[in-house]
Amino acid sequence: MIGSTIDKYEVLEKVGEGGMATVYLGRHNTLKRMVAIKVLHPHLSASTRNRLRFAREARAIEHLNHDNILQIFDYSGSDAEDCFIVTEFVQGRTLSALLQDRGMIPSELAAIIGVHLCEALAYAHESGIIHRDLKPENVMLRDDGVVKLMDFGIARFLDESTVTMTGALIGSPAYMSPEQALERPVDSRSDLFSLGSLLFHLITGRLPFPGTNPSIILRNIIEGKRPEVLELQPGVSPQLADCIERLMQTDPKDRFEDASQVAEQLRAVLEHAGLDLEKEPQWDAETYLEDPDEWESRLQAHLEVVLLERGRKAFSEGNHLDAQRLFNRLLAWNPEHPEILELLSSFHYPEATPTTPPSDSSQRWPWIGAVLALLIAGVAWYFLQPPDPPIETSPVEPLIIAQAVDTLPVSPVEMRVDPPPKLDPKPKVMEFPSELRERAGSPRSLTNPTVLTLPEPSSDPLPPKMAFVRVSLDSPTWGDVYIDDKLVFNGLRQPQVLETVAGTHTIRVSNPLSTKFTREFTVEEGATFDIQASLKELMMTVTLDGFSPLCDITLAGAPMGSVESLDGVLRIKAPRQAAKLSLDCPEGPMSFDLIGAPGDAKTLSMP
């Protein structure tokens, strides 16, 4: 195919391949314009019926003209031997490649990308076009930060064809809406569900509906079995988490009405974070792509100031639940945040009051404030505990406060009773005020009543002596943290302080794309042990079979050495987009398109 001509386009090189098509870089013969040529695989374009359907779908979407939608220049006719679409060529990377590189992205960057995707979807939906296959592989970030949504109409073509899911051609089921999984009629709200799944993946680094095969994934989607965003990543924007939760409702009627509504919510996320891209272009996606680590560090420093100020204001105004959500995010980054701990410790709790609450509301509010302060502290403590696995999560258990009977204070009334009254064997239930239950909105809020259980004295052993371990990474990557083979933290990126039992333990930090870090450590009761984990990206190995030792190797324009100097094995960071591997050999020059993932082992043989 390379070097040939399709219609009026010269095929220059292969730049990618997927389950349904191969993508080539091409050039218009007369206009000399660089284009992308997507050629459907032969088994899709073999029948006349499929070619006619493909041409019909191409005509339906060719009029879409939007800055955030990949522009279609041309397409094959129904009589053409090959089915192909010619589009603008985008120099950039897909969101899938970005996720592989970064693990996850900040909430505010996801909101920026989401706004542009909503604008593209709103435009398409108004034109009567539904995407049907929204996923990270179909979204590109151009080098200048422009978001491009690709492959409109292709999913519809595949849906109507006889291709089955086992051929992996309809796209990953992980982002499908429940109605699409059930093969029911879909509308624009199906795309909104897929958008929520995509945003979920971007900010948590995990699929919302994982599974070992498509059947399990689709069943979880239909039944709505997934963790909440804040369960996986308490450090993300709570406003964005709320938006995603609404997007991913199983019933389409419970989602947003249209993409424009979603865009408004995502702009509110940016406004709440104090980001104004029109006045402050240093927060745009282009700046992020230039130096992601610097952009993320600058954002966190900015949010430390903005969120703390907003939290203080909400707390002083009595809006404790909003303050709780803001403080939770800051505590997820820094569990020992001095300003928040000082604010909570400075809160004055009311003195003991009679069992019957006073009628004066001014006397009742301090008590409610104290309960809320305890809620905030309790939720902050909860986030420091090892999270449950994302799929097998269980409801938050009621808080059990146990106290030995012989240590309970005895009131004067009880002292006059002879013999002492017997304790009611049934647990006493302390209800939160109804107004607090109505306002509780955070997924981590304690909406169940607290149960006060007074057990008989027991000879249970003393609780274990607790200690702490502070875990950080020495490189811009991520890792899951295991202590004694038990998962205690998902997707570590920033330093975290984790609780453990005093003594000797083995810690392991790993992700599928990097080497594993393992270390044994001993920590005393109440002490904090610091561990800096080193994760190195797995190298991709390319074995050069049958090539002359004198061949000089160049990868993406960079000299790598000769076959002889490398002992016939090339070890490189895996190019996640096609990179040209060139060999200058005595027999003549040769080139190959190289693409892979960390840890891959490939063999190139002499032609």
Q: How confident is the model over 406-453, as pLDDT tens digits?
A: 333 333 333 333 444 444 444 444 343 444 334 334 333 333 333 334
Average pLDDT over residues 308-324: 87
Q: How many domains does the chain have?
A: 5
Q: Which residues make Cβ contacts (< 8 Å) with residue 416, sequence separation at least 6?
A: none
CB 177 within 8 A of CB 251: no
Is residue 115 domain-shared with residue 145, that is, in the same domain? Answer: yes
Looking at the fold, whether 102 and 227 belong to one and the same domain comes out as yes
| Average pLDDT along the chain | 78
245 with 343, same domain: the answer is no
Nearest to 148 by CA among 218, 68, 217: 68
Q: What confidence tier does 78 reach under pLDDT thresholds 50, 70, 90? A: low
Quick: pLDDT tens for 555-598.
887 888 888 888 888 888 777 667 888 999 988 898 888 887 78
Q: Are 297 and 288 in contact (CB under 8 A)?
A: no
Q: Are strands 428-430 and 503-510 parallel, antiparallel or unpaired?
A: unpaired
Residue 455 falls inside a structural domain: no
39 lies in the same domain as 11: yes
Residue 142 one-letter amino acid: R
Q: Is the pTM of this model over 0.95?
A: no
423 located within any domain: no
User: Among candidates 226, 201, 66, which has minimal Cα distance to 136?
Assistant: 201
Contacts of 411 (CB under 8 A, 6+ apart): none
Per the DSSP assignment, residues forming a β-bridge with 517 are 509
3 state DSSP class of 142 = strand
- Give 8-38 as a 3 state SS string: CEEEEEEEEECCCEEEEEEEECCCCCEEEEE
Residues 269-304 pLDDT 10s: 999 999 999 889 899 999 999 999 999 999 999 999
- What stretches of 238-332 adopt beta strand conformation (E)? none
Q: Are 153 and 60 in contact (CB under 8 A)?
A: yes
Residue 12 in any domain: the answer is: yes
> Residue 460: inside a domain, yes or no?
no
The last residue of one of the domains, among 533, 548, 565, is 533
Distance between CA 207 and CA 415 in Å, rounded?
60
* Three-state SS letters, 31-85: CCCEEEEEEECHHHHCCHHHHHHHHHHHHHHCCCCCCCECCEEEECCCCCCCCEE
Q: The domain that contains 516 carries what CATH number? A: 2.60.40.2070
Residues 477 and 369 in one domain: no
| Residue 131 is assigned to a structural domain of this protein | yes
Domain-embedded: residue 174: yes
In a domain, 161, yes or no: yes
Burial string for 266-289 (b: 16+ CB within 10 Å, else e) reads bbebbebbbbebeeeeebbbebbb
Final residue of a domain: which of 30, 61, 88? 88
Q: Do both 98 and 232 map to the same domain?
A: yes
**Residue-wise pLDDT tens digits, 150-205:** 987 554 544 444 333 333 334 468 899 999 888 888 899 999 999 999 999 999 99
User: Are residues 161 and 237 both part of a single domain?
Assistant: yes
What SS3 state is found at 441? coil
- Judge if 103 and 233 occupy the same domain: yes
CATH of residue 38's domain is: 3.30.200.20
99: Cα separation from own chain's centroid: 8
pLDDT at 595: 83
- Do 60 and 107 have their domain in common? no
- Judgement on whether residues 340 and 223 belong to the same structural domain of the protein: no
Question: 246 or 478: whose pLDDT is higher?
Answer: 246
**Angle at CA of residue 299, ends 293 and 301, nearest 5°:** 105
* Residues spanned by the domain of 594: 539-605
Which residues are tagged catalytic? 133
The closest alpha carbon to 122, from 381, 159, 114, 502, belongs to 114
318 and 187 in a common domain: no
Whether residue 394 is contained in a domain is answered as no
Give the torsion through C-alpha atoms of 110, 111, 117, 118, to 10 deg: 150
